[in-house]
Amino acid sequence: MKSLVEAAKALAEGFATTFNHLFRRPVTEEYPEVHRVLPARTRARIVLTLDPDGEERCVACYLCSAVCPVSCISMQSAEKEDGRRYASWFRINFARCIYCGLCEEACPTSAIQLTPYFETCERDILRLVYEKEDLLVQHQGKDKEYNFYKVAGVVTRLAGKGEHAREEKPVNVKTNLP
């Protein structure tokens, strides 16, 4: 008898709880009408950024292409007159991309970056193949200050540390000592 009363009480409690939920405001975000602001580090549409001097960051090192688990990045490296490398073409197949962000992690120059913009769907799958001019953007992305040529810091056949064109002198780390 006691357990029967307890069961009835438990049932009534459950029904009351669900009934109260009827009068709550739904928590649903209605997507096409309401665009939620996504965190800055959300991984979606990939871009190629410029350095603060306004030049392409990409040096066509193929690291992103190598690390890509679905092999959706391809490019061709070329050299400018001053001997620096760039990508003569750069292609990302977004139909294959899984937005894992490994390319961004592998990139030594912060050129390739993922942005929170995700509404890239197309009716025709071939339109998801983005060429270099589709990927290039006119800003620095998430890494505003970074200019890799200024801090390259290696000795080559042509010049010593900090002596290449547009390279800054190495920082004397000992000046920071107390």
Closer residue to other proteins, CB minimum distance, 2 or 25: 25
The structure tokens listed for 50 are: 């410029």
Binding flag, residue 2, other proteins (CB under 8 A): no
Task: Using CB under 8 A, pick the residue from 17, 138, 175, 176 that binds other proteins.
Answer: 17
Smallest Cα–Cα separation from 66: which of 36, 30, 102, 100? 102
Residue 64: C-alpha distances to residues 4, 103, 127, 148 (Å):
66, 4, 22, 17
Of the ranges 23-31, 45-53, 123-131, 167-175, which one interacts with other proteins (CB under 8 A)?
Answer: 23-31
Q: Closest distance between other proteins and the C-beta of residue 28, in Å?
A: 5
Confirm if 54 and 137 have CB atoms less than 8 A apart.
Answer: no
Binding flag, residue 35, other proteins (CB under 8 A): no
Residues binding other proteins: what is the number (CB under 8 A)?
14
Task: Using CB under 8 A, pick the residue from 1, 5, 22, 126 that binds other proteins.
Answer: 22
Task: Using CB under 8 A, pick the residue from 6, 9, 14, 139 that binds other proteins.
Answer: 14
Q: Closest distance between other proteins and the C-beta of residue 19, in Å?
A: 7
Q: In what order do the strands lie in the sheet with 85-93?
A: 73-79, 85-93, 129-130
Going by their DSSP bridges, the two strands 46-48 and 129-130 should be labelled as unpaired
Task: Using CB under 8 A, pick the residue from 1, 5, 27, 121 that binds other proteins.
Answer: 27
Going by their DSSP bridges, the two strands 46-48 and 73-79 should be labelled as unpaired
The structure tokens listed for 86 are: 């760039």
Binding flag, residue 21, other proteins (CB under 8 A): yes
Query: 63: part of which helix (H) or strand (E)?
Result: helix 63-67
Of the ranges 18-26, 61-69, 70-78, 89-97, which one interacts with other proteins (CB under 8 A)?
Answer: 18-26
* Residues near other proteins (CB under 8 A): 11, 14-15, 17-19, 21-22, 24-28, 30
